């Protein structure tokens, strides 16, 4: 075999090996790139999730706490909030007790709606605490929409809950929040459409306040 043929044969073998190695390296690089992209996407989703939860967690917790405290206080009956400040209060106290109770309920719906909007297209992951929060929010929504509340006037369908929450949202640049109590009262007085959505809730609170019996002192 001539030298030229040997050289050509070796060169061809080297070229073939190079092609195989290059193909394997490219495939490995592609797999690494896909894996890296998935990790980056997962980190981005986690960062977005943490950003949403960090922005909404505190105000939602406070709104839920205020709602729970008001319901607990009302349920005390004789010395409850509506008994002391609506049934037996001054005209100013009666007005505050009715409107502020309506506001406390609506404020909770507001922050739930903000959270729902932000996580609508966001994977909340499989964390147990996330599932627990979502389950609790659904349970509270179910309690408000239950037919058991119909007689008391407190039944609010899910669509009504979302609408009340939506009406309470304020926009400050890219940030969403809840309107303040003073703004809420102003809109009740000046915006008929806004006030109409809260009419049944206002009436239910008035009815509840008038029904409480106070023992003679």
| Residue 188: predicted pLDDT | 94
**Segment 2-38, tens digit of pLDDT:** 655 544 555 555 555 565 556 666 666 666 666 665 6
- Rounded CA-CA distance 48/64 in Å is 23
pTM of the entire predicted model? 0.71
**39-53, 107-121, 178-192, 203-217, range with the lowest pLDDT:** 39-53
User: What is the average pLDDT value for the chain, to the nearest integer?
Assistant: 77
Residue 109 has pLDDT above 80, yes or no: yes
Residue with tokens 């400050």: 172
Residue ranges of the domains in the chain? 56-211
**112-116, 129-133, 179-183, range with the lowest pLDDT:** 129-133
- Rounded CA-CA distance 145/50 in Å is 30
Paired strand residues for 184: none
**Segment 151-160, tens digit of pLDDT:** 666 789 999 9
| Residue 13: predicted pLDDT | 54
| Sign of the dihedral defined by the CA atoms of residues 70, 75, 76, 77, in that order | positive
| Residue 43: predicted pLDDT | 54
Residue 180 has pLDDT above 80, yes or no: yes
| Residue 7: predicted pLDDT | 45
């Amino acid at each position: 075999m001539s030298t030229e043929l040997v050289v050509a044969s070796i060169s061809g073998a080297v070229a073939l090996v190079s092609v195989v190695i290059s193909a394997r390296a490219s495939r490995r690089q592609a797999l690494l790139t896909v894996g890296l992209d998935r990790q980056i996407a997962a980190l981005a989703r986690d960062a977005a999730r943490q950003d949403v939860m960090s922005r909404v967690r505190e105000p939602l917790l406070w709104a839920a706490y205020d709602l729970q405290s008001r319901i607990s206080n009302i349920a005390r009956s004789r010395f409850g909030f509506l008994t002391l400040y609506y049934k037996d209060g001054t005209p100013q106290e009666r007005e505050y007790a009715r409107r502020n109770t309506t506001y406390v309920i609506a404020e909770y719906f507001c922050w739930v709606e903000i959270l729902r909007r932000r996580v609508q297209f966001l994977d909340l992951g499989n964390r147990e605490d996330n599932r627990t929060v979502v389950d609790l929010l659904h349970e509270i929504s179910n309690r408000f929409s239950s037919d058991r509340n119909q007689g008391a006037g407190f039944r609010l369908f899910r669509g009504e809950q979302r609408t009340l929450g939506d009406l309470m949202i304020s926009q400050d640049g890219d940030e969403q929040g809840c309107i303040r109590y003073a703004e809420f009262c102003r809109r009740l007085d000046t915006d008929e459409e806004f006030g109409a959505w809260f009419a049944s809730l206002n009436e239910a609170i008035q009815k509840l306040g008038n029904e409480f019996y106070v023992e003679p002192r």
